Amino acid sequence: MSLIQDPLAILALLMGNILVADQLTKLPVFRQLGTSLTVILLTAVTANIGLIPTSTNAPPLYDGIFTYLAPISIFYLLLTVNLSSLRRAGTPMVMNFFIGAAGTLLGVVAGMWAVAGPKGFGELYYALGGMFAGTYTGGSSNLNAIALHYGVNKAGNLYAAAIATDNIVTAIWMGVTLLLPPLLNKYFPRQLVYDWTPAEKEQFEVEANAQISDIETMSPTDLALLIGLGVLGLFLAGQLAVYVPAIPKILTLTTLALVLAQWPPVQKLRGVRVISIFCIYLFLAVIGAYCDIAALLKDGHLALMMLLFVSILVAVHSLVQFGVGALLRQDWAILSVASQACLGGSASCLALTKSLNRPDLHLPGILAGALGNAVGTYCGLLIAEYLRGASWLIG
């Protein structure tokens, strides 16, 4: 029995954990973990010491957040994806992004074969494969979408291990993609693909920073419209799932958000990113409450299998990304940024292009990350269903 039982008090503590996690990530150690993982760990601690309920006596509040808030957060995040802007990314970036995404899907299959699927991760192995297919073609919103669809969010230890491994590997891969372009250019020089003027480069940097900013101003009208759109989207997706059960609700919600995101009035709404990030953090806080820390620390097999699986996944992705890119004589920096768009998302793309001193790639990288957000859930569901029916893996 936990010390706090009242749902309002539990919600207040979850909010407090988000606040503390955000402040902790200003410190060097926690900055490496990121806000998402810090929120999970912090809430896991408060749940495991008996302050709030865990998965064994989960209150209706947790189910409410899983059922409503989590999918709406994904809906909001996808409202920021303007597909018409992708033409500004340029053909080389978009082409190499899709090559990298194909490498990710092949990597998931190869990695799951290496760990023997069900033997390595249990009955939710296919969902885990879909989660990594989603996050390593798009980002964490796609991972969460797949996790919600298959119920991995309630398998707290498996989910927490996936998030931790994802954070570790993504951080390592950031270093690799930073080192590869200068190293490869030394032996295999490439010409720059983009030839922007200094003024254009400066403008692209301003636009790129604006696209990943989590600070926005908004009016009550903006808030009302956003809440209304989110609730309506979730309702329509639920109704379609009732009449056409073969279509996953999360797929309908994703598609609806992408369609609305192309409508100019929706593009002008303020506060979309802030609300989506807050909702995601609250969802992750509940994930933390589902983690059994003692079991997680003792389960060395799970950690080893997860690391092996993701390492093989990334190795295959990199071979496809840089191997095909080399054959096509692509700019090494573009290959690194396209790879980072797959594995890390828009924010890490901007960090990489700044570190490479390539302002010409700021906006193309951000837009490639946005493209990943758009296609990641579809890729994740496709791979998950393929793995679930793969007789060679099950048998």
Q: In the prediction, which pLDDT does 159 show?
A: 86
Task: Give the distance from CA 353 to its chain's centroid.
Answer: 20
Neighbours of 265 (CB within 10 A): 8
Burial class (CB in 10 A: 0-12, 13-18, 19+), 350: buried
Q: In the prediction, which pLDDT does 48 show?
A: 84
Burial class (CB in 10 A: 0-12, 13-18, 19+), 258: buried
Task: Give the distance from CA 361 to its chain's centroid.
Answer: 21
pLDDT string in tens for the chain (395-residue length): 667 889 999 999 999 999 999 899 888 878 767 787 788 889 888 988 889 988 777 889 998 988 888 888 888 888 888 888 777 778 889 999 999 999 999 999 999 999 998 998 989 999 999 999 999 998 888 898 999 999 998 887 788 888 888 877 887 888 889 889 989 988 888 766 555 666 666 666 666 666 556 667 788 888 899 999 999 999 999 999 889 988 888 889 989 999 998 888 888 888 888 888 888 889 888 888 877 666 556 667 888 899 899 999 999 999 999 999 999 999 999 999 999 999 988 777 877 887 787 877 877 888 888 899 889 999 999 999 999 988 777 65
Beta carbons of 166 and 135 less than 8 angstroms apart: yes
Two tokens, residue 63? 């189910």
**Domain boundaries along the sequence of the chain:** 60-293+300-394
> Rounded distance, CA 211 to CA 32, Å?
22
Neighbours of 57 (CB within 10 A): 9
Q: How far is CA 9 from CA 16, 19, 325, in A?
A: 10, 15, 54
Two tokens, residue 288? 């933390």
Q: Give the single-character DSSP code of 262.
A: T
Beta carbons of 30 and 24 less than 8 angstroms apart: yes
Q: In the prediction, which pLDDT does 357 show?
A: 79
Q: In the prediction, which pLDDT does 297 show?
A: 61
Q: In the prediction, which pLDDT does 11 show?
A: 94
Q: What is the 3-state secondary structure (H, E, C) of 339-394?
A: HHHHHCCHHHHHHHHHHCCCHHHHHHHHHHHHHHHHHHHHHHHHHHHHHHCCHHHH
> Rounded distance, CA 259 to CA 329, Å?
35
Beta carbons of 17 and 40 less than 8 angstroms apart: no
Angle between helices 140-150 and 70-78 (to 10 degrees): 140
DSSP 130-145: HHHHHHTTT-HHHHHH
pTM of the model: 0.81
Two tokens, residue 289? 């409450």
Q: How far is CA 367 from CA 212, 242, 326, in A?
A: 11, 35, 23
Burial class (CB in 10 A: 0-12, 13-18, 19+), 100: buried
Task: Give the distance from CA 368 to its chain's centroid.
Answer: 14
Q: In the prediction, which pLDDT does 246 show?
A: 83
Q: Give the single-character DSSP code of 90.
A: -
Task: Give the distance from CA 5 to its chain's centroid.
Answer: 32
Burial class (CB in 10 A: 0-12, 13-18, 19+), 118: middle
